[in-house]
Amino acid sequence: MVATVIARVESLASSGNESIPKEYVRPEEELTSIGNVFEEEKKDEGPQVPTIDLRDIESGDEVVRERCRAELKRAASDWGVMHLVNHGIPDELIERVKKAGEEFFDLPVEEKEKYANDQASGKIQGYGSKLANNASGQLEWEDYFFHLVFPEDKRDLSIWPKTPSDYKAATEEYARQLRSLATRVLSALSLGLGLEEGRLEKEVGGLEEMLLQMKINYYPKCPQPELALGVEAHTDISALTFILHNMVPGLQLFYEGKWVTAKCVPNSIIMHVGDTVEILSNGKYKSILHRGLVNKEKVRISWAVFCEPPREKIILRPLPELVTEAEPALFPPRTFAQHIEHKLFRKNNPEEKSK
């Protein structure tokens, strides 16, 4: 059997070509909204992604604690994305995770290919690039490394990078700490809906079943950044997504009908509310449409960890306490797997507008 050779975006970027292959050029209607990301990031007018200070989320002082939770709730209801600061994960650990990921992507492409995934056979973990899976055959200007990082008994360490040597230790400690941050956030979001503190976490699988999937996104320099996207517009299917980045801008959020560029906030973790929590909250918390721009000058790397419910075990539906005659259920019951299928179907059949 001959393995398909996939052109890595990194190889295209270093080929010296001044123009990008046509599969990477976005449709006409999208191109009008793609600007220079460095100029976009400098803009101070208009709405800005909120920054939420988590220092007081478990404060012993009830007034202080409630103020912090109220701010988190407001950001999750209004934006569905935020910069988290004072999140409790040591800066030194985050630097180790970033250094390990950068060193892996610094390896020659042929070294990284030893970890290549094989999407056709269902082997999705490992090193990869997007394959055209829709009618337009559109591609994104990124390579990535994808793997499950928590719970520890569900990991496949055989596909984790062996180089650099600190990759495993840094990544597994980060996953552990992120898992406890997810609990703190889900608790506050549950209370914000008038539910018991542990309710949302239980609904997405709890400690045993909620999966943390890490995707390191590597966006090489692009000779024609005004024509491409690093990642096309989408909402996350997860319950929550936590993102680190190398302080190069790129993330844009579709807020009140306009694309807003997220600033690079030092020592922060970006957090998205995903579709799963939007569904459970019956739309009270938002899963925001977002995309990634690329640029000519700097490689951008981001580390996204998607907190996902198990695919088949749980039926996702608006929680009964949040459904009333005045506010009927906005989403039908589906398993997580069915939700993914439904999104793919809608993406590939744009005329199907049903929920």
Over residues 335-347, the pLDDT tens digits come to 999 999 999 888 7
Is the Cβ–Cβ distance between 270 and 243 less than 8 Å?
A: yes
Torsion angles phi and psi, residue 29, rounded to 5: -70, -20
Q: Of 168, 202, 221, 234, which is the active-site residue?
A: 234
pLDDT mean over 6-24:
93
- Whether the predicted pLDDT of 174 surpasses 90: yes
161-189 residues labelled b (16+ CB within 10 A) or e (exposed): beebeebeebbbebbebbbebbbbbbbbb
Q: Where are the beta strands (DSSP E) in 135-266?
A: 143-150, 211-219, 231-234, 240-245, 251-255, 258-261
- Whether the predicted pLDDT of 3 surpasses 50: no
Is the Cβ–Cβ distance between 213 and 203 less than 8 Å?
A: no
Report how far residue 224's alpha carbon sits from residue 239's, in angstroms, rounded to the nearest whole number.
34
Q: Going by C-beta distance under 8 Å and a sequence separation of 6 or more, which residues neighbour residue 115?
A: 126, 127, 145, 159, 161
Is the Cβ–Cβ distance between 101 and 303 less than 8 Å?
A: yes
pLDDT for residue 350? 65
Roughly how many angstroms between the first and final C-alpha of the chain, as a whole number?
41
**Catalytic residue flag (residue 355):** no
- Please tell me whether the peptide bond between 310 and the residue prior to it is cis, using omega within 30 degrees of 0: no
pLDDT mean over 279-290:
98
**Catalytic residue flag (residue 290):** yes
DSSP-assigned letter for residue 266: T
Q: Of 99, 168, 202, 215, which is the active-site residue?
A: 215
Q: Of 147, 236, 245, 339, which is the active-site residue?
A: 236
Residue type, 62: E
CATH no. for 35-307: 2.60.120.330
Whole-number Cα distances in Å, 202 to 190, 206, 330: 10, 5, 21
Q: Going by C-beta distance under 8 Å and a sequence separation of 6 or more, which residues neighbour residue 94?
A: 174, 244, 267, 269
- Whether the predicted pLDDT of 2 surpasses 50: no
Q: Of 83, 112, 147, 290, which is the active-site residue?
A: 290
Q: What is the mean pLDDT of the chain?
A: 94
**Catalytic residue flag (residue 234):** yes
- Whether the predicted pLDDT of 238 surpasses 70: yes
Question: 200: helix, coil or strand?
Answer: helix
**Catalytic residue flag (residue 215):** yes
| % of residues, the chain, pLDDT over 90 | 91
Give residue 79's pLDDT band: very low, low, confident or very high (50, 70, 90). Answer: very high
pLDDT digits (tens, 9 = 90+) for 178-207: 999 999 999 999 999 999 999 999 999 999
pLDDT for residue 348? 74
- Whether the predicted pLDDT of 1 surpasses 60: no
Report how far residue 339's alpha carbon sits from residue 345's, in angstroms, rounded to the nearest whole number.
10
pLDDT mean over 115-131:
91
